[in-house]
Amino acid sequence: MATNPNAMWMDDGGYTARITLPADPGQFTTVIRSITNSSGLEAVALGSRFTMWIDETGGMLGLHRRPDNDLATRLAHHHNVTGKIRGPVVITGPGVALLTEGGLVDVEYDLAANVFWGAP
């Protein structure tokens, strides 16, 4: 079982944290659905190095729309993905690949550089 952080979680308020996801693909998606409070997931490719896991409902939580996630939206736009991201997200390597320490540092660098990107 993995014990080192291997993914990045981002809430809709701009808070980020390194997290540890299980390597087993069945558990992997169950954990992401749980920590993003999503019934289904959509994998959004951010270039060839990262995947952003978002709620596939387009940001609906029951009858309520989730808050905009401006930081995730900026990150997606930085990687030429259009549209608005809502609710919490998880960033992994490509597909179900887990991030290495270097990948985590790269995501954190991109997130820290977001002040230079345009408005979402």
CA distance 108 to 100: 12
Mean pLDDT (whole number) for 63-73: 87
Mean pLDDT (whole number) for 80-104: 93
CA distance 39 to 80: 26
What digits encode the pLDDT tens for the residues 96-118?
A: 999 999 999 999 998 887 755 55
**pLDDT score for 72:** 93
SS3 61: strand
Q: Where are the domains of the chain?
A: 7-116
CA distance 13 to 10: 8
- Look up the pTM and report it: 0.89
Instruction: Decide: 59 and 65 in contact? Cβ < 8 Å.
Output: yes
Res. 32 pLDDT band, cuts 50 70 90: very high
